[in-house]
Amino acid sequence: MQDLITIIQYFILGLVQGVTEPIPISSSGHLIIFRELFGIEARGLSFEIFVNFASLLAVLLIYKEDIIRLIKNTILFLFKKDKSARSDFMFVVYLVIATIPVGIVGVLFGDYLGNVLSGTNVVGVTLLITAVAIWFIRNLRGRRLEGDLTTKDAVIVGLAQAIAVTPGISRSGASIVSAMLVGMRQDTALRFAFLLYIPVSLGTTILEVPTLVASPEFQALLIPNVIAFITSFVATYFALKWFMNVMAHGNLKYFSYYCVVVGLLVIFFL
């Protein structure tokens, strides 16, 4: 019976991670909330990074054509000086630049922030901050495409994503909000945010997942962990597909409402 309960708990964790990762409501914050609500014992950043790896695979699947094009054109520009590939090459450069701030913050302060600021009260407050940020840009309709981006834009988005190392601050939300504030079109902001997610998530995965998988705790809960991983992958895939449609129709205000409600409930009742 206990084994069944554990499997259900890890299924819930995987579902929560998968659904909340692509949308601007903070996957890390929701994992903290659900662990508090149900007493789920998968604590610490290692498990979050593991199920986040599943989300990464779903994002790679959805954006595979963009990734292949960017890699191909970057090679063409670097080695054959193909001027038609310059726009994609610069887009890759801006992704690299935007990755630097969160990389620095993650290496220097990631464990500290994950442990010290992982309380539910902190999550409640940061969800309210996320709500305000989304509300502020809910009606923005930028016009700038990938070829219009600058180094300054990349730095701004990178700094915003670095702030999202704090639990409860949505990574996708911070990236999309900052991208729209610098004038990107919604589809461009979405693509930049999730292509930026790839190197950041890949870096943490390479550093943490091998250690986690080799640990006795992981081996003891192998089946629940695998279930969480698969659930996270499937849920992320469909949640991101849905969110892409939401972005196309400009319905971001509902995420702001949601974050306000959940943030207040967490502050007053958890």
| Residue 68 · residue 39 · CB < 8 Å | no
Cα distances from 172 to residues 161, 163, 219, in angstroms, run: 8, 11, 31
Q: Is 57 helix (H, G, I), strand (E, B) or coil?
A: helix
Q: Which pLDDT band, with edges at 50, 70 and 90, does 2 fall under?
A: low
Give the pLDDT of residue 208.
76
Nearest-angstrom CA–CA distance, 249 and 186: 9
Cα distances from 131 to residues 118, 168, 245, 256, in angstroms, run: 19, 11, 20, 4
Nearest-angstrom CA–CA distance, 232 and 88: 30
Average pLDDT score over residue span 49-54: 90
Flag the least confident range among 60-64, 114-118, 137-141, 250-254: 114-118
| Residue 119 · residue 270 · CB < 8 Å | no
Nearest-angstrom CA–CA distance, 94 and 45: 28
For the whole model, what pTM was predicted? 0.90
Pick 225 or 233 by higher pLDDT. Answer: 233
